[in-house]
Structure 1
Amino acid sequence: MLQPPTILFLSDTSNRSWPSALAEVFPGYQIATQLESADPANTIAALVWKHPYGALRHFNRLRLIVNLGAGVDHIVGDPDLPAGVPIVRLVDPGLTDRMSEYVLMHCLSLHRKLPEARIAQSECRWNFMAPTPPDTTCVGILGFGKLARACADLLSRIGFRVVGWKRSPATFGSFDVFDGREGLPLFLSKADIVVSLLPSTGLTRNLLDSSFFHAMRAGAALINVGRGDLLVEEDLLASLDSGHIRHAVLDVFRTEPLPIGHRFWSHPNITVTPHNSSATDPSTALQQVVENIRRALSNDDLLNRVDAEAGY
């Protein structure tokens, strides 16, 4: 008796409504949520997030691997992925909206100096700070991909001035976008708030170091929603302690969960959030998964294919 084709869902942390959603749109398929229940000979697609390295080693008949999020540093770091299987990432409108909201929320908080207000409150100190319009603040976004452009559009609609930086030259309408190592100091000199949306690659790891912070404007702030290993933690702490950087909003970390006792928890000029700036929502991302599985089975071009060598 022929076994039905299998779709493997392998994630401990991603939204657990995925298996039932997949079962509805693939009624003739087995949806496996454990490696032991997925026969490698019949498994045609794997949906993964932070999977154990080596877990897919024997799944040589996969037609597609779907990374259940925008960041792909974990999956491309797996040395035991089956050779030749394409990887796609999700560019989910729900994820994009949540990220844009998070960035806007913290840019407004920094612009209106709410971190300073919280410190003043803890000291029972009345510290009047006159409000100013958003166009007095320039937000610089590192990594000007789809997520960053959505953030830039929302920020500019509110009134913030926005500039961008990316590794290679590009033109993005009304936004000034700097590029390359030579363009980074000029980009940093313009930004009152620097937002990092960069992926983790060999070129970006440890980018946010002492020289980076020194090039930022005095009194500027940092928001890191990219990847934790971009940040040299001791260098950030030194810049905050010196007063050169006034505040940092951190949603991603080298070690997650952030260890108890880490200085980030108690530093008065750091806001910590538990990697919840955004997440993939099956209700908005499912059709993209369905379309990519259809394309993979038909040997058509895939949406949002990952370049494993480049790391994004």
Structure 2
Amino acid sequence: MAILTWLHNAYGRDLIEGVRAALPGEDIREWPDAGDPDEIDICFIFRMPHGFLKPFRNLKLMSATGAGIDHYLLDPDFPKGIAMVRIVDQDFAARMADYVLTWTFFHHRDVAHFLSAQSRHDWAYKIMRSAHELRVGVMGLGQMGRLAAERLAGVGYDTAAWSRSLHEVPGVTCFAGSEGFGAFLARTEILINLLPLTQTTRGILSAGTFAQMPPGGVVISAGRGGHLVEADLLAALNDGTLRAATIDAFPVEPLPKDSPLWKTPNLYVTPHCSSTASLATIVDTFAENVRRFRAGAELLNEVDTVAGY
């Protein structure tokens, strides 16, 4: 049997060569040179169009190249009953927490105000609130969300978190389910989205959510593009429902050059770069899962394809 790869080019040839070196006994093929589709039993794919996997009738294991897996599972032709794994490690979560803290500090300390004042040569003094006076909320308490919430609480923010089921995180006020969502939003001045994308979380960054936050709130989204309703975000920024936002993931990527989001005041765009797994982590985790799969052993970071994460 054989492994089919279709990888992103962020690491150039180093990624595929690292995989080959880690799995010297495997038949590793690079798309589009798949050969006989019936020989493919493992796929290691970055992005793929819907229906891509249909020819591979003997596929048994699908591996993502990062933590996000929603774009695979949203394919109506995604094979039923195969195992799926993803790439997750502590460093991945730490990089995400760094991103969250960077932009939380930026909005808390109103860096945009001082940059604008400097451009006008204006000595525009402004009194700043202490971290403990600012109520921050994290949506999602997976590996990345939990660490981000812990870091925010650790530097003194009044931190809350919301997730599907109730968790306990030291120093963090936790809410859960639809019954806790409104109360969570009502106390959240800076809303941080680190949710997985599922049918229940799709479009969650919308007018209904923004309206339940305190007026003039901030949104920081490093989740998935499908969480965002772009028109609602633009409207909320334009009418003052939100005072600012930082968005890292969009429904269409790369963000089209003619998108109004590029030029919207107080909207900060980053190119889906909030966190990336290291080359070593990607190679080592995938190779280990291949070895475990061949041996019939428990897989690392296996996805519940029904729950969507």
Find the partner of 2:131 among 134, 150, 158.
134
Cα deviation, residue 173, structure 1: 3.6
**Structure 1, 146-155 or 167-176: larger mean CA deviation:** 167-176
Find the partner of 2:271 among 260, 271, 274.
274
Contact kept, 8 Å, 1:63 with 1:297, in 2: the verdict is: no
Show the 5 A alignment for 1:212-291. Answer: 212-291=209-288
Contact kept, 8 Å, 2:104 with 2:190, in 1: the verdict is: yes
Counterpart Cα distance in 2 of 1:260 and 1:35: 29
Amino acid at match of 1:284: T
Amino acid at match of 1:11: L
Contact kept, 8 Å, 1:13 with 1:49, in 2: the verdict is: no
Cα deviation, residue 171, structure 1: 2.5
* 3-state secondary structure, aligned to 1:45: strand
Structure 1, residues 168-224: CA drift from partner, whole Å, max 9, x if none? 223334322101122111111222211001122211112122121111112221001
Structure 1, residues 93-136: CA drift from partner, whole Å, max 9, x if none? 33222211111110111111112223333444332123443222
Counterpart Cα distance in 2 of 1:81 and 1:228: 20
* 3-state secondary structure, aligned to 1:35: coil
* 3-state secondary structure, aligned to 1:128: coil
Find the partner of 1:147 among 144, 155, 159.
144
* 3-state secondary structure, aligned to 2:234: helix
* 3-state secondary structure, aligned to 1:201: coil
State the match for 2:53 in structure 1: 56
Find the partner of 1:22 among 2, 19, 23.
19
Cα deviation, residue 13, structure 1: 4.8
Find the partner of 2:107 among 107, 110, 113.
110
Counterpart Cα distance in 2 of 1:72 and 1:13: 18
Q: Percent identity?
A: 35
**Structure 1, 168-177 or 260-269: larger mean CA deviation:** 168-177
Counterpart Cα distance in 2 of 1:141 and 1:242: 24
Could you say if the C-alpha distance between residues 9 and 92 of structure 1 is closer, same or farther in structure 2, counting changes exceeding 3 Å?
farther
State the match for 1:6 in structure 2: 2
Cα deviation, residue 240, structure 1: 1.4
Amino acid at match of 1:249: T
Could you say if the C-alpha distance between residues 125 and 268 of structure 1 is closer, same or farther in structure 2, counting changes exceeding 3 Å?
farther
Contact kept, 8 Å, 1:251 with 1:277, in 2: the verdict is: yes
Counterpart Cα distance in 2 of 1:41 and 1:206: 38
Find the partner of 2:88 among 84, 87, 91.
91
Contact kept, 8 Å, 2:86 with 2:302, in 1: the verdict is: yes
Structural RMSD (CA): 2.0
Structure 1 runs of 4+ off > 4 angstroms?
none
Amino acid at match of 1:277: S
Counterpart Cα distance in 2 of 1:264 and 1:304: 35
State the match for 2:179 in structure 1: 182
State the match for 2:28 in structure 1: 31
Does 2:73 match 1:76? yes
Amino acid at match of 1:29: E
State the match for 2:62 in structure 1: 65
TM-score, L = length of structure 2: 0.92
Counterpart Cα distance in 2 of 1:177 and 1:280: 28
**Structure 1, 119-128 or 42-51: larger mean CA deviation:** 119-128
Q: Which sections of structure 2, spanning at least 5 residues, go unmatched?
A: none
Amino acid at match of 1:164: A
Q: Which sections of structure 1, spanning at least 5 residues, go unmatched?
A: none
Cα deviation, residue 285, structure 1: 3.3
Counterpart Cα distance in 1 of 2:29 and 2:119: 51
Cα deviation, residue 14, structure 1: 5.3
Could you say if the C-alpha distance between residues 293 and 164 of structure 1 is closer, same or farther in structure 2, counting changes exceeding 3 Å?
same
Structure 1, residues 65-94: CA drift from partner, whole Å, max 9, x if none? 111111111111223334422111111333
Could you say if the C-alpha distance between residues 83 and 206 of structure 1 is closer, same or farther in structure 2, counting changes exceeding 3 Å?
closer
